[in-house]
Structure 1
Amino acid sequence: MINTTPKCLKKANKKWILLACMLAMFMAAIEVTIVATAMPTIIAELGGFDYLAWVFAIYLVVQAITVPIYGRLADLYGRKPVFYAGAMLFLAGSVMCGFSASMLWLIVFRALQGIGAGAITPLATTIVADVYNPEERAKTQGYLSSVWAISAIIGPLMGAFIVEHYHWSGVFWVNVPLGVMSLLLIFVFLPSMEKSVKAPSLDTTGIVYLTLAISSLLVALLQSSLLGLWLVPLVLFSLLNGWLLVRQEKRVASPLFPLALWRSKIIVAGNVGGLIIGAAMMGIAAFLPTYLQAVMGASTLDAGWTLAVMSLGWPLASTLSGRIMLRTSYRFTAFTGALLLIAGCGMLLLLTPETSIGYARLAAFIIGTGMGMSNTTFLVSVQNEAEFRHRGIATASTMFTRMLGQALGTAVLGATLNLNLHQRLPTVADPIQRLIDRASGQGDAGTTAADMMGQVAESLQWVFGVALLISIFALYSANLIPRHTFPQSGSISKTLDKRGQ
């Protein structure tokens, strides 16, 4: 199999390929924020409020399941056809979402979107890694990371504009021109991968075990508050299929996750780091806005801008980390990112009802820089470590563990908050919503508002404390990276290649 090496492409072609990948990633990244803004309008027309959570959950669950599958398919059959298949499924789902006549049909078409989205981000990142050399990859990841920051800011604004001046279907159809442009650029400028030998067959049995294990685990985590005792059999079912998957991977000729990947300390560190970063991220993305609105009395707009500040720190640190990696090492850069993440989470523990919004935004910015620096280091190190024939699944596995970490973080931190609220305010129904309504002038928390606010603040402080504890483990993942490895080395990659599948 002949890979697409950086030397095979003209410099101008690389830039067009990078642009195509950025457009594709923007298309997938903006989907979450733009749809969230339009959901009140969609519910008003379609009804089905009880299914609201599944509009988002089904997209995330299906995407998480398909990410490693697409990564392996890209290694076996080429980046270009697999990217095309995923992007076209995503666009087809987007078009049909706009024609949904009920909430149930919207959920079905969101699942189709998620199936396609599982290919877009990992393969766009893998394609960029293919066409740029190890030194350049550390820099180009900054451009790819900037896509998420831009989408976090533009998504809500674009969603509000479309809903106000057009129709909610436009929040799904806006993806179509972006996707078509990306596909055209990939078709013109990305060479197809030549094959000198027949590609090994895909491990379909492993895919079945993976699908059952991950879907049952994610449903258990995302719907834990509704499942009750059903949570236990779901988790056990997930563990059973996980064990069957591991057993299958060890004995099949062409495993879904090549065992050689897990012999590399760098790739193991990248996956552990992705899991930790994903879990810590939810402590800020999900619960910092809640603190700002319920405890500090900030508006929805203020909370949104605070998250936007965190999103801006991510690409800036990602670009900076590329330069630091080239001059120091993966380990030093990952340690620096972990320390920034710990410092930012530590600042959240000092929040009080009287704290200024500027302090909260500074903490969010520091957290964003820590996440951006750590995530970019782990991703670049994994891509540089893996050989071309394994780079697709290596990249996908890192992104998959981050998604899994987000689900785990949401479950753990959400349980921490609910447990504290139940112990502190056992007779008060939905105290956080009451405080938010009171702050916005839409409700009255009653004479016990001050006490309720104090109890909610302390409950959220426990959430930030757990997030800080999780972020400390980022130091452990950084320590897993071997010393004196950096983008120009690649010595371990040669060892990985010799071990084969």
Structure 2
Amino acid sequence: MGEAVNKQGTNSYADPKIKRPFVLASVMLAMFMGAIEATIVSTAMPAIVGDLGGFSKYSWVFSSYLLMNAVTVLIYGKLSDLFGRKPILTIGIIVFLIGSVLCGFAGSMSMLIVFRFIQGFGAGAVMPIATTIVGDIYTKEERARIQGYLSSVWGISAITGPALGGMLVEYVSWRYVFWINIPLGLLAIAGLWFFLHEKIEKKKPEIDYLGAILLTVSISALMIVLVEGGTHWPWSSLEVISLLVVSIIAFVFFIYQEKRAKEPMMPFSIWKERPIFIANIASLTTGIMLIGISSFLPAFVQGVMERSPIVAGFTLTSMSIGWPIASTMAGRLLLKIGFRKTSVFGGIFLTLGSIMLVTLSPNAGPIWAAAGSFLFGIGMGLTSTSFIVSVQSTVSWKQRGVATAAIMFMRNLGNTIGAALLGGILNLRLKEFFQENGGNLARNVTVDSVNSLLNQSERSRLPKQIRELLQDGLTNSLHFVYYAVLLFALISFLLIFFLPKNNENSVS
């Protein structure tokens, strides 16, 4: 954005005062901080659970982070339209760093979950505003190419993140996977304040606080139901029914509030554009798939295949390598064949990757897991780049912040729902498997017994029968998780066909 924005809030890409290469570098550094966080924490989670215990709360470590990320992303997007990108992104990074420091000092799984809430509260600013800044300072044609650069951040983090995370876990401590964010965040803030200069029209802001509260209540209630339903609470219990009612009522009031607010957190008017509507819904379903792979694949590789954290990280690395490669390809394909065809190719790869994970077995080895992960990354790179460029090309500057945040919100919401839903499926299926197949051993085995599989020394001390029961249960349960991932891949693929055939938008 910088001084690329005049009093009317229109773009001026050629403004000589904008140091675009330096701004882009600062934006990429901020995104790298968020990207490496995702790959390192997923790699370290088995070690964290092995140290702190509480496997039944495994998905909550992701859900707590993703919940605050999902809720705040729209607020940050709107605030960036009102106050400028730089101050809001800076605030988000600072909160993220505070949460990171606290996560490293967590002494229990419950403490870690609380600190992940704080971390997620700041993370909501990073990806959407960083992506919006690129939309501000580059033309429509340039955006497709620059999105490839931004996605390369995931490739770099994919190579360094899991490997670094694995080494920190094995040779130092898992706590450093959170503390490594500190120098990255400080450098990103310095770059933004040196090179991104803004001129914002002064006006009294109208912030939709009520909309933010209603959305938080609705998503939180739904997430608790998805995590706890069927495991700690029966689906027909008063707790589940009450929370579902609260979620539905809060969401209905949220819609009503957004229609009457002067500056709605989620302007539903932009959803009337079919490319935006389809991109947002498809981002929701792909977000569910993404968390299913990144959260649970390392647990399978370490707990069932009995491989090291570094090898487990490698399976996620392949996805994060495929993603930027495909994003770079998408930048060229968008200009040649359009958003729809590029997205269709992405949907095909998402489905193929999901099929490979459904057929994953203990004997297949980590190469098979990595191959499925790589195909999925190709699919995510093609679809996500198509969706972001399409959305940014559909709206003007004054709505670009919230429009970009909306698509990020839908993916984060998918992550949030996915972590809860798939985590609930995993816990429920584990519980049922032990009851059905445990025999006399079932009295000594619970969902939290899976903790022992994720710690090499504890796993080696387990009696053979119990170890095999736990591994068979984890294998069976994760197959159910990946059947759900495949279902959402097929839904995403079908949604893409509803994109208009001639959806090359003229707004830049």
TM-score normalised to structure 1 length: 0.85
| RMSD between superposed Cα atoms in Å | 3.6
The structure 2 residue matched to 1:77, chosen from 76, 83, 87, is: 83
Separation in 2 of the partners of 1:38 and 1:306? 13
Q: Are the equivalent residues in 1 in contact too, given 2:46–2:454 (CA < 8 A)? A: no
Query: Following the alignment from structure 1 to structure 2, what is the Cα–Cα distance between the partners of residues 161 and 303?
Result: 12
Distance 1:457 1:212, change over 3 A: closer
* Structure 2 Cα separation of the partners of residues 405 and 452 of structure 1: 29
Aligned position for 2:74: 68
Read off the aligned partner of 1:477 and give its amino acid letter.
L
The amino acid that maps onto 2:278 is A
Counterparts of 1:267-346 in structure 2 under 5 Å? 267-293=276-302, 296=305, 298-346=307-355
How do 1:339-488 residues align onto structure 2 when only pairs under 5 Å count? 339-426=348-435, 427=438, 428=442, 429-430=445-446, 433=450, 441-446=460-465, 449=468, 457-486=475-504
Structure 1 contact 221–407 (Cα < 8 Å) conserved: no
* Alignment-mate amino acid for residue 324 of structure 1: L
SS at match of 2:13: helix
Change (3 A) 1:226 1:147: farther
Distance 2:270 2:63 in 1: 30
- Report deviation, 1:322: 1.1
In the TM superposition, what is the alpha-carbon distance from 1:128 to its structure 2 partner? 1.1
1:311–1:226 Cα change, 3 Å: farther
Q: Structure 1 stretch 242-251 or stretch 352-361: which is displaced more?
A: 352-361
Aligned partners of 1:283 and 1:47: how far apart in 2? 21
What's the offset of the Cα at 1:325?
0.7
SS of residue paired to 1:328: helix
Return the letter of the residue paired with 1:237.
Answer: V
Task: Tell me if the contact between 1:2 and 1:193 (Cα under 8 Å) persists in the aligned partners.
Answer: no
Give the Cα separation in 1 of the matches to 2:375 and 2:413.
Answer: 23
Partner of 1:499: none
Q: CA deviation at 1:114?
A: 2.3
The separation in 2 between residues aligned to 1:50 and 1:423, in whole angstroms, is 14
Q: Structure 1 residue 258 and structure 2 residue 267: aligned?
A: yes
Contact 1:277-1:405 at 8 Å conserved across structures: yes
Residue 53 of structure 1: CA displacement? 6.3
Instruction: Write the deviation string for residues 314-341 of structure 1: whole angstroms up to 9, x where unpaired.
Output: 1111111111111011010111000111
CA distance 1:303–1:111, change in 2 (3 Å): closer
Structure 1 segment 197-236 matched on structure 2, within 5 A: 198-224=203-229, 225-228=231-234, 229=237, 230-236=239-245
Which structure 2 residues correspond to residues 125-140 of structure 1 after superposition, within 5 A?
Answer: 125-140=131-146
Instruction: Supply the AA of the counterpart residue of 1:319.
Output: T
Q: Is the 8 A contact 2:302 2:312 kept in 1?
A: yes
Offset, 1:136: 1.4
Partner of 2:21: 15
Mapped partners of 1:153, 1:479: distance in 2: 34
| Stretches of structure 2 lacking an aligned partner (at least 5 in a row) | 1-6
Letter in 2 for 1:75: D
| Separation in structure 1 between the aligned mates of residue 484 and residue 113 of structure 2, nearest angstrom | 33
Structure 2 distance, partners of 1:351, 1:53, is 21
Question: Is the 1:438–1:444 Cα contact (8 Å) retained in structure 2?
Answer: no
Distance in 2, matches of 1:231 and 1:49, equals 22
Q: Distance in 2 between matches of 1:192 and 1:303?
A: 43
Amino acid at match of 2:156: I
CA displacement at 1:377 relative to structure 2: 1.1
Q: Answer yes or no: is 1:27 the counterpart of 2:46.
A: no
- Residue 73 of structure 1: CA displacement? 1.0
Contact 1:222 1:407 in 2 (8 A): no
In structure 1, the partner of 2:3 is none
Q: 1:234–1:153: structure 2 CA closer, same or farther, 3 Å change rule?
A: farther
User: Which range is displaced more, 405-414 or 76-85?
Assistant: 405-414
| Within-5 A mapping of 1:40-59 | 56-59=62-65
> 1:366 and 1:157 mapped to 2: Cα distance?
20
Q: 1:131 Cα shift?
A: 0.9
Relative to structure 1, the CA distance from residue 410 to residue 199 in structure 2 (aligned partners, 3 Å threshold; closer, same or farther) is: same
SS of residue matched to 1:385:
coil
Q: Does the 8 Å contact 1:4/1:131 carry over to 2? A: no
Residue 436 to residue 99, structure 1, CA distance change in 2 (3 Å): closer
SS, match of residue 212 in structure 1: helix
1:49 Cα offset (Å): 9.3
Q: Distance in 1 between matches of 2:176 and 2:434?
A: 42
Pairs aligned (count): 488
Name the CA shift for 1:325/1:199 in 2 (closer, same or farther; >3 Å).
farther
More divergent stretch after superposition (400-409 vs 131-140): 400-409
Q: Is 1:123 the counterpart of 2:141 in the alignment?
A: no
Alignment partners' CA distance in 2, 1:45 and 1:456: 19
Distance in 2, matches of 1:141 and 1:267, equals: 18
Cα distance change on mapping 1:55 and 1:87 into 2, 3 Å = same
Residues 387-409 of structure 1: CA deviation (Å, up to 9, x unaligned): 11111111111111112212323
Equivalent-residue separation in structure 2 for 1:264 and 1:457 (angstroms): 43
Deviation at 1:217, TM superposition (A): 2.4
CA distance change for structure 1 residues 156 and 285 in 2, over 3 Å: closer, same or farther? closer
**Which amino acid letter does the alignment assign opposite residue 271 of structure 2?**
W
**Contact 2:221-2:247 within 8 A present in 1 as well:** yes
User: CA separation in 2, counterparts of 1:447 and 1:158?
Assistant: 32
Q: Per-residue deviation at 1:125?
A: 0.9
Query: CA separation in 2, counterparts of 1:41 and 1:352?
Result: 22
Preserved CA contact (<8 Å) 1:2 1:194: no
CA shift in 2, pair 1:41/1:134, >3 Å: same
**Secondary structure of residue in 1 paired with 2:465:** coil
Shift of 1:109: 4.6
**C-alpha displacement at 1:376, in angstroms?**
1.5
Deviation track 1:156-201 (CA, whole Å, cap 9, x = no partner) reads 4434555777777654443333222222222222231331x62541
Amino acid at match of 2:252: W
**Equivalent-residue separation in structure 2 for 1:284 and 1:16 (angstroms):** 34
Match of 2:393, SS state, is helix
CA shift for structure 1 position 416: 4.1
Gaps of at least 5 residues in structure 1 are 495-501
- Give the equivalent residue in structure 1 for 2:4: none
Match in the other structure for 2:156: 150
Q: Which amino acid aligns with 1:119?
A: A
